Structure 1
């Protein structure tokens, strides 16, 4: 809302968080999606490069982006080269917005990647509560430079925020700021050392694989406090490994996916926690037979569910369009009327306004079968999906009486 007017184009990766889609509903911005780098071995999406920013492509089409939005670091700690992308954006006076939800700690130690603002971003949004010590729901928006209108930022926040803010949340943010200012440069030393030790010990365990930046050519760094471990060589999915680690060893992961489990270390992590994690993975390795090593390539450039992305309506148009519920077997080729995603990490597989593809639907059903929590679906069993009726708009009604056969 602070950078885009209705009908303006915003460039953003297709693996953006669902909150970015909500932002387009409110602002009326039109998405120009970038398909991120994707590792088929890990089934994980990475970042984007400056070559993927699509600004030249838009110029050739006679258009211009009002903003570029990217996520760095990702949930797995993968960082894009924000310095290169910001230089490209600023060369044509386009603001760069960075979803830095998982990177509030970046730049606070010489072994951590630099923050988005340090690399030239105009706006960064941090979920301060995720890695730092503020209360849940508390976050910060940071600004730099003069490309973005600060008054418009303030007006947008006034529309979106409560007029009765929680002083508990605000005071926790201030306490976190004080903690960082008093211990800047040393606060994360112990946690980083624990992370380095854990990474090395886990890499020595037979049959498991630790995510490294080399799996993603466009990744310029990885957050050392995110530890992603693959279990496919043990013949286990991430969900199966998580069941054992949590049930038998009391290890709580940050994110579980089909091929891997991600663990988050923070200021509260101690040596005992690392020992429990390493011990649990060792025992998991011993009790599991080594399966056939997955021979898929380490990286390809097709983000599996989104390679066929086709936007028919803007997110805002789709939000207000008349809708019908159709059988799951009849939704392919229809315009999605709801935002559905496995959560976490909260990356939408179907977005209002996009054509539902067989590839995306299969990905969603596979995630559900494997035990992922599915967010946003009005039918929790995924036996039906809400779609938009193209001949109607700006009505926002849902016809529940029957499945659409036409």
Structure 2
């Protein structure tokens, strides 16, 4: 047992920042003396004396044996890990490192298609071949759910030489699949389960929240501590849950991906967030869940607004037989000849509808994640987001075609919830429900991903042509293009460009969304791979 009241990095930074000495080391501002006045006006002067480099007392992030090691051990105990590593380049670093630690060039990795763009970057850097599984899909909401244990088992049976499986848990909308059952299927093949748990670091601190990935059997999980807990932006953690990960290879990958001059303010914020949750986590999460439930109940009573939750799904499937809702899965692959899979990606699509309330693609929902459908008042999520942000003093986390998603965390207050409800009430007064149905029609995002004849790495490094967007149909994309947030790619390198992709891009732009990753932000042109 460790003393969780301690904060080793913070304590050491505090002592060093107060030490009188002549600094002849980086950073160049010398504890704030050289900071430009506008930045001092913004942040004050107290933060800069603690912006220190890897002084002997502050340990080394890549070979820790002092305060960083002690702080990481405290975090491992708090989050239930065998070992924890601090990340100062965001969860992207941990996700890519996890792929590099388990997969080499030509190795197969099983993935859901609703992955974050950082995973595609990991595929490009590692040369791994993705075996994509299409996650379950909620058509009423245009929301992708989780992959199921059944789809994982079928894909592993088809590709038993896969080196790893990675899943998203929870999704951006807070949906959780059956991670325990998935881990059991993966471990039958003695390979690791990697988890993008960026939005789930709070699960460990309250029994009413979904099962933490480590408890469910994850071998490696990456958490964005800054997203829902009290760390600074870009501060994340990687947790190991078993010995299935080559620790040396993981460390090498992290050293290659992270800055050799890590920001100690970010490391200190991880230290503080761990201490805070270890000492007060259950109390803080109880307050947060209460706020979220209050918001959910009040908004559910507003006319023409719907809140995404499991109760709504239970009512939807109540009284229907399981047999009538269940189909068999269909495994689809690309057209590569037998033995030539190294030249391309493999695409596995479970082709069955949502089964019932207990569907393994949606067995739990993080109730602190609030998704509200606004399309019933005749506004797209993008339009509603702009009005809320620009005029009504409320800013959501994620706008989409039909809905808005809000993160309720330990930093929110009752006043925030009151302001949200008031703003939505005002938004409803701008209802445009009499608009033509085509304006309010949802865009069905299911089954948009088609043939991937070339690996992401090969497509990324191939010679490229720049084509007018209307001439790109049928060509292989050389770009990773996605609406942001949430950073889930609609088109990835190696994928064949289809009419459906172009329809999605057009609608995202038309409704005020932002598309990232493309060389031409206007999307009048697109780069394609030339082989």
1:277 — aligned with what?
A: 420
2:371 — aligned with what?
A: 228
TM alignment of 1:378-393, pairs within 5 A: 378-390=519-531
1:50 — aligned with what?
A: 149
For residue 59 of structure 1, report the CA deviation from its aligned partner.
3.5
State the Cα deviation string for residues 113-151 of structure 1 (Å, max 9, x = none): 121001000010011100011111110000111211112
Residue 187 (structure 2) aligned to one of 90, 101, 114: 90
1:172 — aligned with what?
A: 269
State the Cα deviation string for residues 263-286 of structure 1 (Å, max 9, x = none): 111111111110010111122223
Cα distance in structure 2, aligned partners of 1:384 and 1:253: 31
Q: Does 1:33 align with 2:132?
A: yes
Cα distance in structure 2, aligned partners of 1:72 and 1:344: 17
Cα distance in structure 1, aligned partners of 2:296 and 2:437: 22
Cα distance in structure 1, aligned partners of 2:420 and 2:288: 15
Compute the RMSD of aligned alpha carbons.
Answer: 2.0
Q: Does 1:329 align with 2:427?
A: no
For residue 39 of structure 1, report the CA deviation from its aligned partner.
2.2
For structure 1, which runs of at least 5 residues remain unmatched after alignment? 391-406
2:322 — aligned with what?
A: none
Residue 204 (structure 2) aligned to one of 104, 107, 111: 107
Cα distance in structure 2, aligned partners of 1:91 and 1:181: 34
Q: Point out the more displaced range, 156-165 or 26-35.
A: 156-165
For residue 294 of structure 1, report the CA deviation from its aligned partner.
8.3
Larger Rg computed on CA atoms: 2
Q: Does 1:239 align with 2:349?
A: no
Q: Does 1:209 align with 2:352?
A: no
2:119 — aligned with what?
A: 20
Cα distance in structure 2, aligned partners of 1:91 and 1:177: 33
Cα distance in structure 2, aligned partners of 1:50 and 1:291: 43
For residue 309 of structure 1, report the CA deviation from its aligned partner.
1.8
2:101 — aligned with what?
A: 2
Contact 2:288 2:408 in 1 (8 A): yes
The structure whose residues are more often helix, as a share, is 2
Q: Does 1:348 align with 2:489?
A: yes
For residue 244 of structure 1, report the CA deviation from its aligned partner.
2.3
Structure 1 consecutive aligned stretches of length 4 or more whose deviation exceeds 6 Å: 292-295
Cα distance in structure 1, aligned partners of 2:414 and 2:103: 47
Contact 1:331 1:385 in 2 (8 A): yes
State the Cα deviation string for residues 222-248 of structure 1 (Å, max 9, x = none): 111110000121111111222222233
Q: 1:229 to 1:277 in 2, by over 3 A?
A: same
Q: 1:157 to 1:30 in 2, by over 3 A?
A: same
Cα distance in structure 2, aligned partners of 1:257 and 1:361: 17
SS in structure 2 at match of 1:65: coil
Q: Point out the more displaced range, 153-162 or 250-259.
A: 153-162
Contact 1:233 1:294 in 2 (8 A): no
Contact 1:13 1:36 in 2 (8 A): yes
Q: Point out the more displaced range, 89-98 or 360-369.
A: 360-369
State the Cα deviation string for residues 306-360 of structure 1 (Å, max 9, x = none): 4442111111111110000011111111000111110001011111111111112
Q: 1:380 to 1:164 in 2, by over 3 A?
A: same
2:457 — aligned with what?
A: 316
For residue 363 of structure 1, report the CA deviation from its aligned partner.
1.0
Normalising by structure 2, we get a TM-score of 0.69
Q: 1:60 to 1:136 in 2, by over 3 A?
A: closer
Q: 1:85 to 1:336 in 2, by over 3 A?
A: same
For residue 290 of structure 1, report the CA deviation from its aligned partner.
4.2
Q: Does 1:264 align with 2:407?
A: yes
Normalising by structure 1, we get a TM-score of 0.90
Cα distance in structure 2, aligned partners of 1:182 and 1:2: 33
Cα distance in structure 2, aligned partners of 1:332 and 1:293: 30
Cα distance in structure 1, aligned partners of 2:426 and 2:465: 50
Residue 296 (structure 2) aligned to one of 186, 199, 202: 199
Contact 1:233 1:291 in 2 (8 A): no
For residue 293 of structure 1, report the CA deviation from its aligned partner.
12
SS in structure 1 at match of 2:239: strand
Contact 2:379 2:432 in 1 (8 A): no
For residue 153 of structure 1, report the CA deviation from its aligned partner.
1.1
Cα distance in structure 1, aligned partners of 2:154 and 2:288: 42
Q: Does 1:159 align with 2:300?
A: no
SS in structure 1 at match of 2:132: strand
2:62 — aligned with what?
A: none
For structure 2, which runs of at least 5 residues remain unmatched after alignment? 1-99, 314-353
TM alignment of 1:180-195, pairs within 5 A: 180-195=277-292
How many residue pairs get matched? Answer: 383
